[in-house]
Amino acid sequence: MSVSTPTPALDSIDELLLFRLTLLSAQASALVVRLCEGQFGITRREWRVLGLLHGNDGMTPSALADHVQLDRARTSRAIGSLVKKRLIVREINQSDRRGANLLLTPSGRQLYQDLMPHVKDINRRILSVLNQDEMQQLEAWIQKLYESTQELNIELSPNFLKTYQMHGGRDVTPRSVLD
């Protein structure tokens, strides 16, 4: 598939930034998914959780869900799966016995150490088409777009209904109809 250059009009889905980023992410993620599932026996979501815990042992499940920007149910399923695989453990929080902290097991640390070099190599190879100046520009643009998106979320979120899935459907009634 050829990727079109966006025009100011943004007349088609092919010209939208989010669509183009989704295509890029899908292509790059497919490599990591095959690596995780085919060679290491974990899912991409489990890898995300494992990777974040590697540098942040002791996170709570809710803090982890916020950090990876996944809903709590999906995060909980990934955590449960990693616990069953004995890659992480839940440790009761001594200051709040209702909560738990998540810790990597020695097997979880080893899996991270075995998998991370492969993931870094994939990332390095994807980025190898950029020179140092382009890398710095990319980093600056990503940060700028991230900040813009955060501001837009604050501005627009009150105007959109939260979606929910019930029996395969979604509530997509415009807010103005409900007001």
Query: Does residue 179 fall inside a structural domain?
Result: no
Q: Is residue 29 located within the same domain as residue 94?
A: yes
pTM of structure: 0.74
Output the furthest CA–CA distance in the chain (Å, rounded).
56
Looking at the fold, whether 139 and 101 belong to one and the same domain comes out as no
77 and 85 Cβ atoms separated by less than 8 Å: no
Q: Are residues 18 and 94 in the same domain?
A: yes
Structure tokens at 92: 């009761």
Highest mean pLDDT of the ranges 7-16, 105-114, 147-156: 105-114
The count of domains in the chain is 2
Looking at residue 61, which CATH number applies to its domain? 1.10.10.10
Does residue 7 fall inside a structural domain? no
| Segments forming the whole domain that contains residue 150 | 131-160
Q: Provide the pLDDT for residue 88.
A: 96
